[in-house]
Amino acid sequence: METEELLSKIYDLVIAYGLKVVWAIVTLVVGIIAIRLFKNLLVNILKKREVENAIIPFIVGLSATVLKILLGVSVLTMLGVEMTSFVAVLGAMGLGIGMALSGTLQNFAGGLMLILYKPFKHGDFIEMADYSGTVKRIQLFNTILNTPDNKTVFVPNSKASNSTLVNYTTEPKRRVDLVLGVSYESSIKQAREILLEVIEASPLIDKDPAPYIGVDHLGENAVNIVLRVWCNSGDFLTVKHETLERIKEAFEMAQVKIAKPQRDVHIYKHETS
């Protein structure tokens, strides 16, 4: 009789929990396979978006860990394990850790935004957070810039994603704007002809669109002439510096005076009786 009761109880347990165990095992196996497929898919997506190779394993590993935790909680719930207290403890721990690492998490979130939306890439010359330089590396928590004077700057990604950013490399062409102060005694027509000769002689300046030359302002000491020319973005500084140098030399040869600040002082002598 006792044996029959024991077998009956075992049978009832198998009927009650056997199906749950089977479904839990199936869910676990399918979940593990799905996570593996997701990891491979995520790697391919990140590589297509040209994400830094050093960041890819971290993103993939973090995503897989989160999915495995969710899978484990789902399987235990299917087996009838009460997960309310466990989830509450995890939530409290996550809240405490989040508050302690708020700044780091902001940088992490900013890094993900930069990786996903890619406002700049490795090798771009950008200006952000009061710094300008070439992007050397994009990491999850900071972006590394190399300044023109060869300094390495670590910019937190929270600032990089929330502040105004200027990318000087995105467009293939840039406009060089120069303002030249010519004295009132010099001829504007002659100055214009000299500027056109300097532009024509430079192989780095684009002739289309055509350069613009015009009087910008009649200043206190000078007639300000604005010169606007286009060039390749990588030649911007070279064109600016070389053009200024050649204009200075051409003005000197043609005796076109570059204005200097000046004051006229009048001295009056009062006779005393």
All domains of the chain in start order, with CATH = 2-100 (1.10.287.1260), 119-167 (2.30.30.60), 173-254 (3.30.70.100)
Which residues in 26-35 are b (16+ Cβ under 10 Å) and which e? eeeeebeeeb
- For residue 16, the number of C-alpha atoms closer than 13 Å in the C-beta half-sphere is 7
User: What does the alpha-carbon distance between residue 22 and residue 24 come to, in Å, rounded to a whole number?
Assistant: 5
**Per-residue confidence (pLDDT) for residue 101, from 0 to 100:** 47
The predicted pLDDT at position 1 comes to 47
C-alpha distances out from residue 236 to 96, 121, 171, 205, Å: 50, 20, 12, 9
Per-residue pLDDT of the chain (273 residues; tens, 9 = 90+): 466 666 666 656 566 566 777 787 888 888 889 989 988 888 888 888 777 665 677 678 778 888 888 888 787 777 776 666 666 666 666 666 555 545 677 777 787 778 777 888 888 999 988 889 999 988 778 889 999 999 999 998 888 877 888 999 889 999 999 999 998 888 899 999 999 999 999 999 998 889 999 998 898 888 999 999 999 998 999 999 999 999 999 999 988 888 777 666 777 776 665
pLDDT for 94 equals: 63
